[in-house]
Amino acid sequence: MTMRTLNLLAASVLGLGALMSTSAFAQPKAQRAAAPVECGANSDPAACRKEAAAARAAARSGALTQGDFKANALARCEVVPPADRDTCRRRVESGQSSGSVEAGGTLTELREQVPAKQP
- Which one has a higher pLDDT value, 92 or 41? 92
Cα Rg of the chain, angstroms: 18
One-character DSSP codes across 11-56: HHHHHHHHHTSGGGT---HHHHHHSPPP--TTS-HHHHHHHHHHHH
> Tens digits of per-residue pLDDT, 47-84?
878 888 887 888 788 776 777 788 888 999 999 999 99
Report pTM: 0.44
The pLDDT of residue 36: 54
Can you give the residue ranges of every domain in the chain? 1-20+64-119, 27-61
Which parts of the chain are beta strand (E)?
96-100, 105-109
Could you give the CA distance from residue 87 to residue 3 in angstroms, rounded to a whole number? 11
Write the pLDDT tens digit of every residue in 4-53.
555 555 555 555 455 455 444 445 554 444 455 566 666 778 887 888 88
